Amino acid sequence: MIAPSSSLERIRTVIVGDHDELGRLVAGRIAALVRTRAAAGQPAVLGLATGSTPIGVYRELVRLHREEGLGFAHVVTFNLDEYFPMDPGSIHSYHRFMWENFFSHLDIRRENVHIPRGDLPRDRIDEECRRYEAAIREAGGIDLQLLGIGRTGHIGFNEPGSGLESRTRLITLDLVTRKDGGADFFGEENVPREAVTMGVATILEAREVLILATGEHKAYIVRRAVEGEVDHEVAATFLQRHPATTFYLDNAAGAYLTRVATPWLLGQVEWTTPLAVQAVTWLSRQTQKAILKLTQRDYAEHRLSSLVAAHGTPGALNGLVFNALGAKIRGRSKLPAGQRIICFSPHPDDDVISMGGILRKLLENENAITVAYMTSGNLAVFDHDVRRHLDFLGRVAGELGIAERAVTQLVARVEEFLAAKNPGDVDIEEVRDVKRVIRESEAVAGLRTLGFEEGAARFLDLPFYQTGKVRKDPIGPADVAIVRALLEEVGPDLIFVAGDLSDPHGTHRMCKEAIDGALEELVAAGRPRPEVWLYRGAWQEWPVTEATWLVPLSQEELRLKIQAIFKHQSQKDTAPFPGPDEREFWQRVEARNKGTAAELDKLGLAEYFAMEAYVVESR
């Protein structure tokens, strides 16, 4: 469902249900422009962005080209930016990204594609930037500019401090931007320190701007860009001055907007029970009072008198919300018992990171549990871990005389490759296999720490992940078929699925897409649909107001969960893909689980040591 913009929003903002729907909506707008310009005998001039967010848009445009005849022969494109220095053939190059993910699937003419060059000598960059600006003017200007937004609020690579009059230029990248880019480059130290980018003035001259954001980690900067004052430190706020900009968000990225987080501050609302719980919990935080201590004056001073009126008295309302939150708490005795359960873990550590506590409780409740690891996670293993494990293997072979020659040959082959490997190069098959086995052995060790037998682990190794690169293939029928086969084999009553959207490269979202596809096929075939509980990963936890169930953990249970996380040694100390939070996974988990319990305590509910949160997905 698309929610309307509020009076506080200085940029027209559309909130879309999910990532795929967002891609279809934005691609539809672009397609309409392309067709309108073609009908007038004129080319459509598009400004394009790279990154994981617009991928869904490009895939939908490719589908429209293939299935509905959308033509790109007369479309002219200008990309926002490119790293410097950067070989256009590098897997990190935006040139390569655009051709692999978009242009090579269309009938677009190569001469109509323009991407800033990052492969020129430094003394030629200024000339190239002027040429780029001239090419845009010669094309008649950009009709529609597609943008993403960085955590610093940058658009293109216009970092904090970029001026309103800035044009295409070479810019030094902000530290936060380089940290975020570290996942693509297999380490922050490999991220270029500079980039060529269109300027703010260049972007604002586009006749229409569409800016996209997805995921919980973008929610704060989205609110800052949409509702905050124009600020040179947040380049996206300059879009408030553009007459035809639309911000497209998924639900997670729009979560902090006033109309979503506190809609009662904007005017009259329809007071449903979930909204009442949200409002009273917010009021408790604002006043720093327990829910049962909130007074009529508290409600009146925070523009919530209508909510009290709908329930008669503050006491009745306080009691309603207090009981609603208390009813979410599910200790071991209230959790499923004697059921068939599948925990789908996108990577080989998401299970223990996100739900290590409930897994232990469900095992104690004598449920039959299968933990299905959907991808190998081999991209997230450092090369030095490969060397360490092969050294161990070689020493064992030498000591015990077990296939010593074969081990020696393997070690030599791997060492030869690693010695010549550049950051980001695709690993040879032997290296990928060693990394996969490392992750699998760690996953089994983590489950054993929780009390599981080895047979509880299933490694699906879905094809979409097996690119050897950070960017994955789209979910396809083969991925869905593997998930469906497991569902048919186990026949679960309940499944756990990663429901977070802040995973840096969208693997969690893509895994959920494969599960949803498999469930749809099962239901269509007349098979019963299991109950689905959504968990969140290493970046955020479900808010207590959104959670369906809150599962308390004792000090001992949290310690056991952390011990299980420790078994994933290749991800400890410094994970290859840490995301926006630099703490180790166990530190994030400890803070998150203790924080959820502490929030309930502040609201005046029972005090627990730690808590995990889950949302039951509606059918």
> How far is 614 from 544, CA to CA, in rounded Å?
9
> How far is 451 from 567, CA to CA, in rounded Å?
13
Segment (H or E) for 610: strand 610-616
> SS3 helix, strand, coil % of the chain, rounded to 5?
50, 15, 40
- Domain boundary pick from 219, 242, 259: 259
Dig out the tokens for 106 from the structure.
């269309």
Q: How far is CA 294 from each of CA 55, 272, 273, 317, 463, rounded to the nearest angstrom?
A: 47, 19, 17, 10, 54
In this structure, the answer to whether residues 181 and 36 fall within a common structural domain is yes
Q: Computed from CA positions of residues 133, 135, 139, 142, in that sequence, does the dihedral angle turn out positive or negative?
A: negative
> How far is 312 from 326, CA to CA, in rounded Å?
21
CATH number where 462 lies:
3.40.50.10320
The verdict on residue 460 lying in a domain is: yes
In this structure, the answer to whether residues 235 and 290 fall within a common structural domain is no
- Residues with Cβ < 8 Å from 124, sequence gap 6 or more? none
Dig out the tokens for 446 from the structure.
């983590």
The verdict on residue 362 lying in a domain is: yes
Strand partners, 549: 614
Q: Which amino acid is at 449?
A: T
> How far is 75 from 96, CA to CA, in rounded Å?
19
In this structure, the answer to whether residues 54 and 199 fall within a common structural domain is yes
Segments forming the whole domain that contains residue 298: 262-326
> How far is 46 from 54, CA to CA, in rounded Å?
13
In this structure, the answer to whether residues 564 and 603 fall within a common structural domain is yes
- Domain boundary pick from 326, 341, 360: 326
Q: What is the pLDDT of residue 18?
A: 79
Give every residue of the chain whose pLDDT is below 70, as ranges.
1-6, 183, 186, 468-471, 501-505, 574-581
> How far is 150 from 224, CA to CA, in rounded Å?
12
In this structure, the answer to whether residues 561 and 589 fall within a common structural domain is yes
The verdict on residue 594 lying in a domain is: yes
Q: What is the pLDDT of residue 486?
A: 98
Q: Which amino acid is at 536?
A: R
In this structure, the answer to whether residues 282 and 252 fall within a common structural domain is no
338 three-state secondary structure: coil
Q: Computed from CA positions of residues 152, 154, 159, 162, in that sequence, does the dihedral angle turn out positive or negative?
A: negative
Q: Which amino acid is at 197?
A: T
> How far is 89 from 92, CA to CA, in rounded Å?
8
SS3 annotation, 413-437: HHHHHHHHCCCCCCCCHHHHHHHHH
Dig out the tokens for 440 from the structure.
């699998």
In this structure, the answer to whether residues 316 and 340 fall within a common structural domain is no
In this structure, the answer to whether residues 241 and 96 fall within a common structural domain is yes
| Beta carbons within 10 angstroms of residue 577's beta carbon | 19
CATH number where 78 lies:
3.40.50.1360
Strands 208-213 and 194-197: unpaired
In this structure, the answer to whether residues 460 and 349 fall within a common structural domain is yes
Residue 168 is classified by DSSP as: S
The verdict on residue 469 lying in a domain is: yes
Annotated catalytic residue within 9, 60, 133, 159: 159
- Domain boundary pick from 213, 236, 259: 259
Residue 438: phi and psi, rounded to 5, are -60, -50
The verdict on residue 232 lying in a domain is: yes
The verdict on residue 488 lying in a domain is: yes
Distance from chain centroid for Cα 184: 14
Residue-wise DSSP of 435-464: HHHHHHHHHHHHHHHHT--GGGEEE---GG
> How far is 373 from 487, CA to CA, in rounded Å?
13
Distance from chain centroid for Cα 354: 15
Q: Count the domains in the chain.
A: 3
Residue 495: phi and psi, rounded to 5, are -130, 150
Residue-wise DSSP of 537-561: -SS----TTT-SEEEEE-HHHHHHH
Nearest Cα residue to 248 out of 12, 412, 408: 12
Residue-wise DSSP of 75-93: -EEEE-EEEES--TTSTT-
In this structure, the answer to whether residues 217 and 276 fall within a common structural domain is no
The verdict on residue 405 lying in a domain is: no
Cβ proximity of 226 and 145 under 8 Å: no
442 as an active site residue: the answer is no
Q: What is the pLDDT of residue 1?
A: 42
> How far is 186 from 199, CA to CA, in rounded Å?
28
The verdict on residue 178 lying in a domain is: yes
Q: How far is CA 389 from each of CA 403, 436, 508, 563, 569, rounded to the nearest angstrom?
A: 16, 12, 28, 21, 12
In this structure, the answer to whether residues 304 and 345 fall within a common structural domain is no
> How far is 151 from 365, CA to CA, in rounded Å?
42
Residue 13: phi and psi, rounded to 5, are -130, 130
| Edge-to-edge strands, sheet with 549-553 | 457-459, 368-373, 340-345, 494-498, 531-535, 610-616, 549-553
Cβ proximity of 149 and 213 under 8 Å: yes
In this structure, the answer to whether residues 364 and 278 fall within a common structural domain is no
- Residues with Cβ < 8 Å from 172, sequence gap 6 or more? 159, 193, 194
Strand partners, 155: 158
